[in-house]
Amino acid sequence: MNAWDIINLVLGSFFAILGLYQILYIIVGFFVKEKTPPAKVNHTYGILIAGRNEEKVIGQLIDSIKKQDFPAENLKIFVVADNCSKGDKTAEISKKMGAVVYERFNLEKVSKSFALDFLLKNIATDFPDYKPDGWFVFDADNLLDKNYVKEMNKVFDSGKKIITSYRNSKNFGDSLFTMGSSVHFIRECRFLHNPRNFFGFSTHISGTGFLVSSEILNLQTGWKYGKLTEDLEFSCDNLIKGNSVAYCDSAIFYDEQPVTWKQTYKQRLRWQKGSYQCASAFLLNLFLKFFKNLNFAFFDFFVFFFPMPVFSASWAIVNFFVSVVQSIIQISAGGVAGTILLNLLISTLSTFALLYFGLFLYGSLAVIRDWKRIKATNWKKFVSLFAYPIFMITLIPICFIALFKKVEWVSIKHNVSTNIDEVPDSTKTKRRAQ
C-alpha cells in the first residue's frame, strides 16, 4: 500500500465515521411512526406570513388557515406585504380575508428576515395586549392540511417550544427540478427530522412551516436572525441556548417548488452560502459543546453543517487527477495506452455510478415510505426516483460556486394557484395567467 492509498483510507474512514449513524436514522425513519397524545388545551396562536408579490397564492393560504379543524377564535393572521410592486394585490387580498396587514417598502434591507422583524415589531406596538401562546411562521405559497394546527397543538401542549412540520409539495410533478426538490424535503422529514425526534435530539426548522413559543419569540426584540439561511441560524442559536427543535410528522403543509433550473440554482446557491455563514458562526461552538456536554445533538448538527459535499467532491476530483497523472506515467513507461485509458474511464464512470446509485437508493426509500402522501401520479413518483440523484449531484458545483460568489437574497416567484381542497383529491394544479 503506497502513501496515496493510505491517505485515501484515512479520509474514507473519516467520512464513513461521520456519517455512519445516518444508517440508523434511515432505519428509524422508515419503520418508526410516533404518536402524540391528544392535547388537553387548545392554545392560542398568532400566524406570521411574509410575502412579496404573492397575489396569486396568498388567498389560498389564508383560506386553508380558515378551514382548520381548530377553533377559529384561537388563530389570528398577520401579513407583511413586503416590497410589493405597484398594482400587486397581496395586501388587498389579505385584508379582505380578515388578516391584519402591514406594508413595508425598503429596497436596501431585502429579505424575509427584515420582513419578519418589521412585522413582529409592528404587532408589538399596535397590539400590546395580544399575547398568544405561540407563533406560526409560513411562506405565502404554503397550504395547510385541515388538521395541521390541531396536530401541531398536540406537540406544543406536550411541552415543546419550537416545532417544525412535514413539508410536502403542491407541484411535485411540474418538472424534474420540482421532483428532485420535493424528494429532498420528503427525505429530510423522513430520515432526519423524524429520527432526531425519536431519539430526543434537536432538529432544525427548514424555512417555513414551524411554530415557536411566545416564551422564545419576543415581539419587542423582533426577528434577529439575518443570515441568508435565517432558519438554520435560528436553529443553531436555540440549540446552543438549550432550546431544542421538535418535529410533528402528522402536521402536513404543502409548498411550491422551483420549476426551472434558473430558479432552483438561485435558491440552492443562497441556501449553500447561508449554510457556510452558519458553519462559520456555529461550527466550532457546536464541536466544543459536544465534548463539554456529551450531547449527541451537537455532534449531529456539527456533521450537518460540515461542508461534506465540498470535501467529498474535492477528494474525488483530486483522486481523478492523481489517476490521470498515474496513467500518463504508465503510458510513458511503455504501457498500452488504450488499456490504461480504458481503465481510467471505467474507474471514473464506476465512481459516478456508485454515487448516483447511493442517492437513488436514499431518495427511493423516502418516496416508497411516503408514497401515499405524495400528491402526483404514480408515473411521476417513479420518475422522481431518477430525478433526485441528478438534483443532488448538481449541488456539488453549487457548493464550490457558493464558496467564492457573493450571494444576495432573491425572492422566488410563485404561480401555482391551488386551493387546499384540491391538493388531496387531485394531482393536477391550475395556473393563473401571469
In tens, the pLDDT along 331-343 reads 888 877 888 788 8
pTM (two decimals): 0.90
Read off the pLDDT of residues 133-169 as tens digits, 9 standing for 90 and up: 999 999 999 999 999 999 999 999 999 999 999 999 9
Read off the pLDDT of residues 273-310 as tens digits, 9 standing for 90 and up: 998 898 889 988 888 888 888 888 888 888 777 656 56
Query: Domain ranges in the chain?
Result: 1-416
Q: Residue 347: is its pLDDT beyond 90?
A: no
Please tell me the predicted confidence (pLDDT) of residue 306.
63
In terms of CATH architecture, what is 1-416?
Alpha-Beta Complex (3.90)
Please tell me the predicted confidence (pLDDT) of residue 209.
96
Instruction: Report the candidate in 116, 111, 124, 121 with the shortest Cα–Cα distance to residue 49.
Output: 116
C-alpha gyration radius of the chain: 23
Read off the pLDDT of residues 21-56 as tens digits, 9 standing for 90 and up: 889 999 999 999 888 899 999 999 999 999 999 999
Read off the pLDDT of residues 102-136 as tens digits, 9 standing for 90 and up: 999 998 888 899 999 999 999 999 999 999 999 99
**Dihedral sign computed on CA atoms, order 272, 278, 281, 287:** negative
**CA pair distance 170, 179, nearest whole angstrom:** 11
Q: In angstroms, what CA-CA distances link 177 with 32, 59, 125, 310, 434? A: 29, 26, 42, 22, 20
Read off the pLDDT of residues 211-222 as tens digits, 9 standing for 90 and up: 999 999 988 888
Residue 130 contacts residue 76 (beta carbons within 8 Å): yes
Please tell me the predicted confidence (pLDDT) of residue 311.
67
pLDDT band at residue 313 using 50, 70 and 90 as cut-offs: low
Identify the residue with better confidence: 403 or 211.
211
